[in-house]
Structure 1
Amino acid sequence: MSDAIMGRKPRLAFFQWDHQPNAGAANYLLLHMQQHVKCLAHHFEVTVVNSDCDYDEVCDRLRPDLTLFESGYRSHGSRRISIANTHRHPGIPKLGLHNGDPWCDRRSGFLSDMDHWGVETFFSISTLMPAYTPTIAANTFVWPNAVDPDIFHDYGQEKSVPVALTGQSYGLYPWRQSVFPAIIQCFPCLVSPSYAYESKAASRLLSGERYARALNASFAAPTCGTVGGEVVRKHFEIPASMALLVTERTAGLEAAGFRDMENCVFADHRDVIDKLDHLFARPDEMRRITKAGYDLVHSRHTLAHRPQIHQWFTLRQGLPADEIIIQNGPFGDLVRARRDEGRASAPVAAGGFDRVLLEKAAANLKHGRIGPAHEAYARCLDYVSYMPEAKFGLGLCALREGNAVEACVLFGALVDVTTGAYGAADPDPVDWAYYLLSLVCAGRLDEAARLLDSYSTLSHAEFNRVRALVDRLWPRQRRLQIAARNRQSVHMVAVRSDGEWLRWVCDTLRRCGQAALADSLGRGDDATSPPGQPPVRLRGSVSPPIQRLRSQLYAGVDRIVAAAAFEDARPTVPPAPEFRYFSHLARNLARAALGGRQAPARATLARLVERVRSGRARKAQVRTRAIQFIAVRVVGVPP
């Protein structure tokens, strides 16, 4: 450790989202964000930066020893902040904090943020994140959930509630769906209503001390860790409040130290009633198990027992080139290890129903069994309706079924979630690659060529293949240089050689009715042009007239916005029909107007309208109407 920080806590600048109290969101969500800061404060002198900022200025002012960037949160009313100039102060180590579920569709946004902010090492509150996103597993550590003992402890309340049932129980929680009804039929229960996080009624839910006291007054409380078998806060909050934890057996909970009938109860819908009957008939045994669970959590799983981020900061100082940092299990310490020993962090295995279905679907798709693959991917969405791997798999199924139009919609929706809903600077590179490929398969080669350079810094092996394919079919004199650094993806695509991949593409093109494009690629034996057939611009493979006109409208408006020196209003979604481009543009302009920039917004819109009006093409009239519509409806610019 450097002499500069000897004798004091190291300074940490925590770039956290703007998590403000919101009447339309659950109160405990804000409490969780505050507990992250409280946990860090055990080891760091923490300064929270939760508004749009300049990284250079923040570092000059705070002089932090470490910076931590929160990302990947599924908003629920919180605002993702904008951070400029993160390339400055390269000597200050950076970490990314993935604050989200391991299956979440915001992971692509997290990877985009980390890439643009220059962050290469990550911590996640999810024990399953390394297993669910194996492309970054080597650089991801777990900073697991914990409890605040100032809130969750034994209040000494009389036990008056046999069983407390709290938490949501929809498709993401199959264990709760089967166990909760069985318990309700057999025992008196305190049942908390299930509200969505962002529901206006969510503020009615018990949180903080009121929630802890309700648990403390209960003999038992069941919970589970979702379809994936995650370790969630409830697993610690229940025993920390001196209530008996009833849950399903998972590798994560066993790694946390839970043992059946020693400090918790592992059960399912087949035996949960028998086990509870057994313990209610033997109160001494129930008290012993409950007390053991209480002792486990308060000795190993409070905010004071989460030093992993500080351990990484300490270990990396003076780390020799022949050593790496690894983690001994999801709740374990970080330690140094020699590279040549072949040791690595030991993540929790991903054995949930959703991962099993994904593996089954991929195997079926590989062997041409499209129907069963489609069914398995669709069943994944019954658990998590927004799971990106399942939606991507359905897009592949659509391509192999010859339905390129549906594939455009499916892949486009994934791109839109990351760039539009989340607000990332660019999409997952594999999502983007297969959206472009689906355009080609839909006969919209000209549009694929136009959109190819929408994200100049995006690079990935699969995207580079699609780029080369489009360049070959639709050559252009000017093309942006491919980014040098490879972007990670949430998707694990099938491993194919260049020749195998090209043959797969040719077969897919023919299935989608694009035999002419497939023939132009030759037999698909390699990635080069067949002898005597140089790349040609296939004029016959352009979008239908209406589709082409729509595409040109979007492209024209986007060029005008870019040329009007109003880059803040320009959406990060591609200017194409699949991405609700005009909706995002209108939203951005509205934010500019409501954010105290109404006059600049009006002036810019007036310039936009004037630029379009001065256009020479007749199609400019159509663009003019679109711009005028946005101008009048959003910020009141006169037509």
Structure 2
Amino acid sequence: MIAKPKLIYFQWDHSCLPKFIQLHMQLHVKCLSEFFEVVLINKDCNFKKVCDLYEPDLVLFESGFRSKLSRKLLVKETSSYTEIPRLGLHNGDSWCDCRVGFISDMEHWGIETFFTICTTTAEHTPSIADNLFVWPNFIDSHIFKDYGVEKNTPILYTGTINPLYPWRQKIHDITVNRFPSVVHQHTGYNRQSALMIYGEKYARSINTSWFVPACGSVAKEVVRKHFEIPGAKSCLLTEKSSSLEAAGFVDMQNCVFVDETDVLDKLNYLFSNTDVLKRITAAGYELVHSNHTFKQRNQILQWYHLAKNLKSDEKIKQNNPFGNLSLVKTSSNTNRKYTTGNGVHLKLIYEGDRYLAKKNYNEAEAKYLECLKYIFWMCEPKLKLAICFLNKGEELEALKWLIALNKQNLGTYSRAFSPDPIEWAYLIKAFLCNGKVDEALIRSKQFHTISHPELNRTRLILNYLTKTKINKSDTNNYKNVKHNNSIHQLPHLDITNWLKDFHSIFIACHQLDLAEKIYELIRMDIVDEEELSRIIVYPKSGLKIAILNIRVTVIQKLNSFSNRYYYKHLYWYFLYKLPYKYFLQQYSNLINVKKQIIHLLKPSK
């Protein structure tokens, strides 16, 4: 018998989650154990010591899960054993705000290759698409199977019915009064409930039903339910999507694709022709048990074997989210393909972007707000709303949105080691537009190691506007070849057009002195960031710069402290409450002391 490779799986501590979600996490371990000798680590640890003890062939880090009840692990010394292949697992929704935390974790842990459970993650985050593979959802075939029970429920509805699931809402409203239906309400992800059915009881309830509708959310994702329903031998009633077609689902052969225009006709036909319905149900059962159980999800093992023999002129690709991985030449023109759902939320963002590019800010704002009606915690429309507010001269409103956005990603859910670089760049811009120059200077240095073209340009402009260099280690990050990834997509602008945008924002926000300085740069016809850096003149450091340096040091220590102990609520109190008032007071005290000293040293007349 061939020995399995040894994998260390650093999984978050999910022990406080409701039982049905814990089953999902345990199923991941069960699947990995089919192909690896798995060592599960779900408590804080030292990476080097763990590797010394278990000598793994591969390590896998989970991240990106959205829950207040789960705890991200504190893993020290991840810079050791870089020769051991390491992967990240994005265990979250493709649109989730916790993508910021996931990307931050991966960069902090030195991980450059990722797997995701969602088929549309690359569509939502193109910046990581080239290094992203899909380990798609699957079922436990020991639970979701044919129990041989009599079918006595025409239609079974399970799960939440809310704006995140527009297809489910429409189909429910159309069918619930036309056909006998049973509705099992979802009791939530953050609390235990005796009313929540899961495991075998849930599988048996599906098995007793003729039809069970399933919705891949507004993103048209493939969720577990798409496999659980046919896996428990019920007929899958669902919305057509490219991801489901990639999984092998075909309308009226092994599932039933419907929308609001044909759902009644198809249901009436199949209830009148139960032989056809039984054939579709049996074909769906066969498809799932042959292709979509934990026994078939070996994509991570495939990557491990391919990566071991990877040559310098080769790369690994995956064209189908449910298919095998393969090697191709890096010189080939074969682009990585990824599945797109073209969800209505993304369409609204794209429409808003078109209005934003045309400077129709009210129309753009309306589209972004409509997007938030579907997913109120999604980051992209929030950032774009803040950009609209800045361009409309509503700088305080923009600052509120950007503070909340960064607080959300650094604190409540994502618990990121560092912010999204584009979000942080716009936070700095918003402080400038509100006349809070010192605050902008502090934020520009707070996460001094992160780099991104948008952030680096903002830092350079800030240095130019204030003629201030906060500390001696001011780095020219714009020269870095490698930048931090962002979940956001902004149009690429050359330096001149970027400056013009900045100038118009300052005009709108009545920062006329700053706008005039930007206009001076525009007239210089600057070619790139390097030329801009050469014309910045730094005066000698004074007392004010010294105070700012002290504040930078304190806040950076708070960053380290909060990341170490996950006291993000404390971190944000210090970040926005205490430091600003405290250091203004200390600065004022020092100025008074300086005046007193000058007065004492002044020669008497």
TM-score, length basis structure 2? 0.88
Q: List per-residue Cα deviations over 1:485-521 (Å, max 9, x = no partner).
A: 4100000111100111011101110110001111122
Which amino acid is 2:65 matched to? Y
Counterpart CA distance in 1 for 2:192 and 2:554 is 36
AA paired with 2:489?
M
Q: Do residues 62 (structure 1) and 35 (structure 2) align?
A: no
Shift of 1:276: 1.0
Mapped to 2, the partners of 1:284 and 1:563 lie a distance apart of 64
The alpha carbon displacement at 1:480 in A equals 3.2
Extract unaligned runs of 5+ from structure 1. 1-5, 543-550, 584-610, 621-639
1:489 to 2:486 alignment: yes
| One-letter code aligned to 2:515 | A
For 2:20, the equivalent position in structure 1 comes to 28
- Assess, with a 3 A threshold, how the Cα gap between structure 1 residues 581 and 95 changes in structure 2: closer, same or farther: farther
Note the C-alpha offset of 1:564.
Answer: 12
Q: 1:110 to 1:139 in 2, by over 3 A?
A: same
CA change 1:581–1:47 in 2 (3 A) is farther
Distance of aligned partners of 1:451 and 1:65 in 2 relative to their CA distance in 1, 3 Å threshold: same
Amino acid at match of 1:12: L
CA distance in 1, matches of 2:456, 2:500: 16
The answer to whether residue 445 in structure 2 is matched with residue 476 in structure 1 is no
Q: Would you say the 8 A contact 2:242–2:341 is kept in 1? A: no
Which of the residues 109, 115, 119 maps onto 1:117? 109
Residue 212 of structure 2 is matched in structure 1 by: 221
182, 186, 193: which one aligns with 1:190: 182
Query: Highest relative contact order (Cα 8 Å, sep 6+), 1 or 2?
Result: 2
Mapped to 2, the partners of 1:565 and 1:299 lie a distance apart of 49
Distance 2:272 2:568 in 1: 61
Shift of 1:582: 6.7
Superposed displacement of residue 404, structure 1: 1.2
Q: Does residue 233 of the first structure (1) align with residue 239 of the second (2)? A: no
* Inter-CA distance 221–76: structure 2 relative to 1 (3 Å threshold): farther
Match of 1:19 among 2, 7, 14: 14
Amino acid across the alignment from 1:192: H
Offset at residue 441 of structure 1 (A)? 1.1
Three-state SS of the structure 1 residue aligned to 2:383 is helix
Does residue 402 of the first structure (1) align with residue 393 of the second (2)?
yes
Q: Deviations over 1:297-350 (max 9, x none)?
A: 000100111111000000011211111100031111000011122223321124
Cα separation, 2, equivalents of 1:570 and 1:38:
29
Contact 1:413 1:579 in 2 (8 A): no
Pairwise CA RMSD? 2.9
**TM-score with structure 1 setting the length:** 0.84
Residue number in structure 1 paired with 2:65: 73
Measure the CA separation in 2 of the matches of 1:407 and 1:180. 38
Q: Which moved more, 1:445-454 or 1:36-45?
A: 445-454
**Letter of the 2:10 counterpart:** F
Name the structure 2 match of 1:457: 449
In structure 2, which of residues 30, 33, 52 is the aligned counterpart of residue 38 of structure 1?
A: 30
2:275 corresponds to 1:281: no
C-alpha contact (below 8 Å) 1:415/1:573 kept by paired residues: no
Alignment partner, residue 636 of structure 1? none
Mapping for residues 157-196 of structure 1, pairs under 5 Å: 157-196=149-188
* Structure-2 residue corresponding to 1:50: 42
Stretch of structure 1 that moved more, 565-574 or 279-288: 565-574
CA distance in 2, matches of 1:138, 1:223: 30
Q: Tell me if the contact between 1:162 and 1:188 (Cα under 8 Å) persists in the aligned partners.
A: yes
In structure 2, the residue corresponding to 1:270 is in which secondary structure? coil
Contact 2:122/2:128 (<8 A) preserved: yes
Change (3 A) 1:180 1:48: same
CA displacement at 1:160 relative to structure 2: 1.0
Q: Counterpart of 1:17 in structure 2: which amino acid?
A: W
Q: Does 1:508 align with 2:502?
A: no
Q: Counterparts of 1:92-107 in structure 2 under 5 Å?
A: 92-107=84-99
Identify the residue that residue 284 of structure 2 maps to in structure 1. Answer: 293
The code of the aligned residue for 1:13 comes to I
Distance 2:81 2:160 in 1: 44
Shift in alpha-carbon separation, 1:185–1:582, aligned structure 2, 3 A: farther
SS at match of 1:305: coil
Tell me how far apart the structure 2 counterparts of residues 465 and 573 of structure 1 sit (CA, whole Å): 30
Aligned-partner SS, 1:123:
strand
The count of corresponding residues between Structure 1 and Structure 2 is: 568
Q: In the TM superposition, what are the counterparts of 1:68-467 in structure 2 within 5 Å?
A: 68-201=60-193, 203-421=194-412, 422-467=414-459
Between the aligned residues of both structures, percent identity stands at 39
The answer (yes or no) to whether the contact 1:573–1:579 under 8 Å persists in 2 is: no
Listed as ranges, the gaps of 5+ residues in structure 2 are 592-605
1:481 partner amino acid:
T
Choose 69-78 or 118-127, whichever is displaced more: 69-78
1:615, 1:440 → 2: CA distance? 22
